[in-house]
Structure 1
Amino acid sequence: MAAGGQPFLILHSASPGERRTALLRGDMLEDFAVERPARPDGVGDLHLGRVGARVPALSGIFVTLAGEESGFLPDNQGGEGLSEGQAAVVRILRAAQGGKGPRLDRKVPRDVAAEGPPRRLRRGPPAVERLAASHPAAAIRTDDPETAATLRAAGLGDRVTLARRGTLFEDAVEAAIERLLGHEVPLEGGGRLLIHPTPALVAIDVDTGAATRDRGAQRRVNEAALREAARQIRLRQLAGPILIDLAGLAPAARAEFVPALKSAAGGDRLLRILGTTALGLIETVRTRVHPPLHEVLGLPPTPLSHGLAALRRALREAESRPGAALALRAHPAVLRATEALDGTLEEYRRWTARALALRPDPALLPGEEVIEDA
């Protein structure tokens, strides 16, 4: 899937409860984001907050946001000089993580008011707007009229094309996205990556497969693995410590592969490559901004992810059969999670002019959902 020199293309698709945005260069997936409007990650949001306790050991302060959520504002991001009880306008710099509140800064417009109770003042830009800003020459295709109108109002009308719902993501793109939802990534020329996030770190193992006995082939697989590892780290938005275990090499020999990883990851400003450990693992760390894909979708996918994927299929079926009354038959856990996501079934009803019937079926495992006539 070589993409050298080809222009970028942004695809944005809306389905009930979910928005998927992909950046392509040629036929290569370069960036990907999944957003659930009912559960935004908050990055980029502006809040009027109330300064809470100062924590000298952490060189910062806690700030109470809307809904009593607490974020942390480091002194070097604008917290110095603020006192307890003071109102302050802050921006969410990094999403919340593992029970810890979001990271904040004070890089906000000067004309934003700082009076009243804690509340959100403005939402941060969605992925399609972020990608449109960072790739100003990229064409944008969306199947969502509201998104098209917003982008055109922002002066991007000459870049925006509106498509029929459910028609944007071709099979090759869907296959590339599907690989982001699993632990295993096949490599060109043989071998595979095995990606395992844990609460403490992400472990990436290189399996050379049949190339194990051939040193030249083994080296080529390791080099290909590092190129793909850099890409998967970016696409999955992995964060925190990331350790890469190359295959079939003595620990001392692995350090010579570090420059190859640095070259492959050159465009990822969030990733730092630290070198190798005593065991020969390549050690990296990546700054967290948005939640990693596995936190949004689950790895393996959660019942909600299966439910929203089924709604995408139902929406495509409804688009191809206008007026058809459809039903979703699925495990009760899938239906409960889907119903619980605010506005999801209402979006399906609004876009298709028909309600979707829900049929619990305990015999179906999550991932075995069926779209059928109501």
Structure 2
Amino acid sequence: MTTILASASPGERRTVLVDDDGNLVELHIERPGRPDGVGDLHRARVSALAPAMAGAFLAMAGGETGFLPESAVGPARQPIGRSVSEGQMLAVRITRAAQGGKGPRLTARLTPEEATRIAAAPGTGPALIARGPDAATRLARAHLGAAIRTDSPSLAARLRIPLSHRPVLDDALEAELDLLAGPEVPLPGGGRLLVHPTPALTAIDVDAGSAAGTRDPQAQLRLNQAAVAEAARQIRLRNLAGPILLDLAGLTVKRREALAEPLRAALATDPLAQLRGLGPLGLFEILRQRIQPPLHEVLGWPPSPLTHGLAALRRAAREAAARPGRRWALRAHPAVLGALRDLPGALAEAEAALGTPLHLHPDPALAPAQSEIEEAAHG
């Protein structure tokens, strides 16, 4: 049975979709203190028309600026100036998270329920009316009948499901999630994928490893067949978006063409991905729609001080659950502690999980990935 596992830890929510065979299919990492905004309902003011960009800029609550394409308001192919005017207040929903210094993408095409909810909200200026659904809710809607397990009391209450009093992510899943934070993915039988995100595109390279020196053409083909399947899986797991280039290992262009259909089939279960073909340089070209931020933007690439800090808070919560009644301290690089202080709610959630204050000890000698959880001295 398809299963949704939603794990809560201080400052972070990790939600995974697991298929009938126990394989990880989707991963969503959310930081409630800094939501990506997708699905949020807003009342916003048109601040500037942008006919050359076929849209308009809208001033939103908190000083953020969103972009409304003309295709997301008014009749199809109607110029933006005929649909809205500067200064006009609009009811909108965020359809794509902000990226690369650009604000979120908006739509004014709302359901009757959404429009009514925004119209009934008090006030007249730009305002956030309601937050969008979290990952667990989105997955539950998309996979009706899926089993749902969570160790989050608030999510269990909202979804009206039993609360798991044990972590819902086992050691094997935790190890796989750790791999997703890095660029290397081992392939069965040897070799690896190397994932290289850039601001413009993502490159995925197949490293043949020990198979590079073999004279067996079938071994090389088997490696690339495995790489095609795993690349499609990694694209979805990492929520990669925009142009994606896949470079196979050691095959002529003609032999690569034979892998186009297996790649297309592997991508078929991902509703956001589309194989565009094999380019003149022998690279498979994939385009994947962006909605939520890719995993590497959430975690940082390499992982950010905040990512290391939240991992340390997870360890602290596990230590406290295993050895209750003790006081705990986190020793970490100053950048890690600063990032935790800057994330709303993270340290408060940690102290609630521990049942006691968490003592923070800055230690510049530690690398960001070397945070230590230790018992605090009583005094």
> Do the structures match in fold with TM over 0.5?
yes
| Greater displacement, 301-310 / 351-360 | 351-360
Structure 1 gap segments, 5+ residues each = 1-6, 153-159
**In structure 1, what residue type is equivalent to 2:72?**
Q
List per-residue Cα deviations over 1:117-146 (Å, max 9, x = no partner).
001101000001011111111111111111
Kept in 2: contact 1:89–1:112 (CA 8 A): no
Kept in 1: contact 2:41–2:118 (CA 8 A): no
CA shift for structure 1 position 239: 0.5
List per-residue Cα deviations over 1:164-198 (Å, max 9, x = no partner).
26x22111101111111110000112111000001
Q: 1:172 to 1:54 in 2, by over 3 A?
A: same
Kept in 1: contact 2:91–2:115 (CA 8 A): no
CA shift for structure 1 position 200: 1.0
**In structure 1, what residue type is equivalent to 2:265?**
S
**In structure 1, what residue type is equivalent to 2:37?**
G
**In structure 1, what residue type is equivalent to 2:55?**
G
Match of 2:152 in 1: 144
**Identity in percent:** 56
Match of 1:157 in 2: none
1:317-356, aligned counterparts within 5 Å?
A: 317-356=319-358
Match of 1:288 in 2: 290
List per-residue Cα deviations over 1:314-340 (Å, max 9, x = no partner).
001111112110111111111111111
| Greater displacement, 46-55 / 307-316 | 46-55
Alpha-carbon separation, structure 1, partners of 2:26 and 2:296? 15
Kept in 2: contact 1:330–1:370 (CA 8 A): yes
Q: How many residues align?
A: 360
CA shift for structure 1 position 356: 0.8
Query: How does the TM-score come out when normalised to structure 1?
Result: 0.94
**In structure 1, what residue type is equivalent to 2:296?**
H
Kept in 1: contact 2:38–2:94 (CA 8 A): yes
Match of 2:139 in 1: 131
1:233-252, aligned counterparts within 5 Å?
A: 233-252=235-254
**In structure 1, what residue type is equivalent to 2:197?**
P
Q: Does 1:20 align with 2:14?
A: yes
Structure 2 gap segments, 5+ residues each = 75-79
| Greater displacement, 54-63 / 303-312 | 54-63
SS of 1:306's equivalent? helix
Q: Does 1:161 align with 2:162?
A: yes
**In structure 2, what residue type is equivalent to 1:348?**
A
1:361-372, aligned counterparts within 5 Å?
A: 361-372=363-374
Kept in 2: contact 1:23–1:29 (CA 8 A): yes
Kept in 2: contact 1:255–1:275 (CA 8 A): no
Kept in 1: contact 2:320–2:326 (CA 8 A): yes
CA shift for structure 1 position 53: 1.4
Kept in 2: contact 1:140–1:161 (CA 8 A): no
Alpha-carbon separation, structure 1, partners of 2:25 and 2:274? 19
Kept in 2: contact 1:17–1:347 (CA 8 A): yes
Alpha-carbon separation, structure 2, partners of 1:55 and 1:228? 41
Alpha-carbon separation, structure 2, partners of 1:329 and 1:351? 18
Match of 1:195 in 2: 195
Kept in 1: contact 2:42–2:118 (CA 8 A): no
SS of 1:162's equivalent? coil
SS of 2:369's equivalent? coil
